Amino acid sequence: MELKTVAIFRAPLPEKFGIPRQSGLAGSLRGTVVLEPPYRSADALRGLDGFDWIWLLWGFHLNKEEASEGLTVRPPRLGGNERVGVFASRSPYRPNPLGLSSVRIESIDAEKGEIHVLGADLADGTPIYDIKPYVEFADSHPKVRSGFVDDHEWKPLEVVLPRAVFRELSPESVDGLLEILAQDPRPQYQDDPARVYGLIYEGLDVRFQVKDGVLTVVEVNKSSN
CA 203 – CA 223 distance, rounded (Å): 5
Over range 16-38, report the average pLDDT. 96
Give the amino acid at 168: E
C-beta separation of 81 from 189 below 8 A: yes
Which phi and psi angles does 183 have, rounded to 5°?
-80, -5
3-class secondary structure for the chain?
CCCCCCEEEECCCCCCCCCCCCCCCCCCCEEEEEECHHHCCHHHHCCHHHCCEEEEEEECCCCCCCCCCCCEECCHHHCCCCCEEHHHCCCCCCCCCEEEEEEEEEEEECCCCEEEEECCCCCCCCEEEEEEECCHHHHCCCCCCCCHHHHCCCCCCEEECCHHHHHHCCHHHHHHHHHHHHCCCCCCCCCCCCCCEEEEECCEEEEEEEECCEEEEEEEEECCC
Q: Give per-residue pLDDT as tens, 57-88.
A: 999 999 876 666 789 988 888 887 889 999 99
Output the CA angle 169-28-55, nearest 5 degrees.
Answer: 130
pLDDT of residue 166: 95
Least trusted range by pLDDT, from 50-54, 137-141, 189-193: 189-193
Give the amino acid at 59: G
- For the chain, list the domains and their CATH numbers: 7-60+97-139 (2.40.30.70), 151-222 (3.30.2310.20)
Q: What is the Cα gyration radius of the chain? A: 18
Band (pLDDT 50/70/90 cuts) for residue 188 is confident
pLDDT of residue 79: 80
pLDDT of residue 172: 95
Q: Give per-residue pLDDT as tens, 104-136.
A: 999 999 999 999 999 999 999 999 999 999 999
